[in-house]
Structure 1
């Protein structure tokens, strides 16, 4: 029989006595267990749940459960065994090491509560000063506890029971203007001609950096004027599947891009993988090298810069011009170009590799709206019905 009794614990060094409510019960194997709560109400509520879990054979005593560190380690190992990319598992390990680990590693997962989850969010926010970091760590901690549930080590996932809601400020994605892209094309043509085809693929096809580095000649159909995306290269140069199922797609190719690619193919370094933009050794390019050896330099040469304040050799604060955009900004520019060119929202979503059209509208909705002439559309709707 389970019971709840009031206990007054031994006095602390300051002479203060703590009162708790202790639940005594038997677990699935008939072993006697107990758990303490600060109030009778919490003890009653927990006992009701525990009785149901014991009856269903799913109960795991808090003191017998695994530590968060043990479960996190097992989850990451499972991710690796199931083919998760090294880049991804490295991020999992880093976030566990920097955020969730120091806060929860010694905790038994069976003792975690909704209050603990809320405190975790607050502590991570204090450490990172970033709501986005809290959101990402929450997803991973939730996955760790879900893994524990699948193994029968845990009944309740307190992360899934504890949402983290923050009103996000919608930021418009950074992208260059048409004039800035024209200046970048001119600078690349004059000083970095071997990167011109790459620039056109980024500007007119909107590839992600990893997709660009994993692009093969077999993916380019000059007859149909299409670029097919079916693979990507991670930061370690390992070729794998696209970012998501929707990442596998076909993108229309214009004449300018096709011409530049045909010219580049004649002098492209040989690659056993058949890469379009390999290194001189035929291996996948490194993102940092592309930025440092071309894109940042080309922006500075083209005057596409922003001012950064930094100390000089003597510690004096000076203003310097630095490259204004990252490579992903060219992808946003391509989306804006397609919108301006009257591609349908669905076609743009597909060619961008977005999971849904809703995501495309959430990201670029202001551009669609800016092109609409409400008065003209109103009059057009009227004329369709009333004409004649």
Structure 2
């Protein structure tokens, strides 16, 4: 491995010079690469020498592009992941990665170039034509998701020997150390239904969606878990249900979202059991015998969109849990819209209900217990999402009770 200055004269008589890195790779092939600056040549020589010793060196001429390896990654992911997840990954590659760096060689993927890509992804470029995929800025959540997919592509390339290291590993975000990403905290009456609104919704719920909505409220199940719930997993005698499967957006039954999503949830309060007992007598069986608790009218997997359109939204409107759209109908009356547009609002309510104190209308459960009921992977996820909801100041009565429990404190205080 040598670094030396090279001088030459072009056919037009122009004198030029460059720094040449001359070396032999791990396959015994002689390689050479030139640089304008010595510091760049020295850095390349140091990195290439280490890669050659480890048998991982890849030269530019044989390096694959980001898109080449991305397609390999997608092919493997198609056989390993749920279809919905695979489609998300495909969109990441085709809509966000390929337009920016799809044709770039893997050998040129380093931290500075990746940082430029992520900045361009977040910032967009209004000077580009409207049909150019690089024009519109991506949201922080999308940039984070694309970064994760790009890291998976690089890891795939590393395992296949197309690049020496995954440059995204060890690359920090642009946030300062210890600084968390800011996000809007959940609010009662905005993201989470109030107790009064829940009571109105329960009273207004009718028909075949009534048991589904009530179960959603008092179990905190995800929409996919509700759609995939089987009667075999509901023990009405012991007032509990088990989450063992889910139905994705393509009506495919599969495992729950994660290992911690497989859990047992008590059916509480008791009237939830009574609602399910009544519903079981009417529940459509269907020809496929999927044994679903909340199927469509012919016993098959219910479409998520239909639950929202035919179940949640009409119930919201009937209960008066609405917001004014600011528009008026032909008679001059305000046009109202449902206040909550997804079943996840009930999951948020269930978590807050479990965490809140009994004197405030909640169940007063420990956060770790709520984590298990929700199927969260860590207690940190539960506390980060819902911890602020049950912060409270002890009133004078509570403080008096504490002091009476510890008479030694009273004596020492006097």
Provide TM-score, normalisation by structure 1. 0.89
Give me the CA root mean square deviation. 2.7
Report the alpha carbon displacement of residue 357 of structure 1 after superposing the two structures with TM.
1.2
Report the alpha carbon displacement of residue 346 of structure 1 after superposing the two structures with TM.
1.1
Change (3 A) 1:8 1:182: farther
- Which piece of structure 1 moves more, 69-78 or 192-201? 192-201
Query: How far apart are the structure 1 equivalents of 2:7 and 2:166?
Result: 29
1:102 aligns to 2:118 (yes or no): no
Query: How far apart are the structure 2 equivalents of 1:20 and 1:370?
Result: 69
Change (3 A) 1:36 1:138: farther
Query: How far apart are the structure 2 equivalents of 1:18 and 1:257?
Result: 83
Partner residue in 2 for 1:334: 350
Change (3 A) 1:38 1:138: farther
Partner residue in 2 for 1:248: 262
1:214 paired residue among 224, 228, 234: 228
Report the alpha carbon displacement of residue 145 of structure 1 after superposing the two structures with TM.
0.3
Query: How far apart are the structure 2 equivalents of 1:87 and 1:165?
Result: 30
Alignment of structure 1 residues 205-354 onto 2, 5 Å: 205-254=219-268, 255-271=270-286, 272-308=289-325, 320-325=335-340, 326-340=342-356, 341-354=363-376
2:82 paired residue among 82, 85, 95: 85
Unaligned runs of 5+ in 1: none
Query: How far apart are the structure 2 equivalents of 1:370 and 1:8?
Result: 77
Change (3 A) 1:109 1:374: farther
Per-residue CA distance 1:289-323 (angstroms, 9 max, x = gap) = 1101111121122221223357999xxxx973221
Change (3 A) 1:5 1:304: farther
8 Å Cα contact 2:6-2:20 kept in structure 1: yes
Provide TM-score, normalisation by structure 2. 0.84
8 Å Cα contact 1:299-1:305 kept in structure 2: yes
8 Å Cα contact 1:9-1:20 kept in structure 2: no
Q: 2:48 aligns to what SS in structure 1?
A: helix
8 Å Cα contact 1:63-1:108 kept in structure 2: no
Report the alpha carbon displacement of residue 18 of structure 1 after superposing the two structures with TM.
8.9
1:158 aligns to 2:184 (yes or no): no
1:172 aligns to 2:185 (yes or no): yes
Per-residue CA distance 1:327-382 (angstroms, 9 max, x = gap) = 10110000111112111111110000011111111111112323755994697278
| Structure 1 runs (4+) greater than 4 angstroms displaced | 6-11, 16-20, 309-313, 371-375
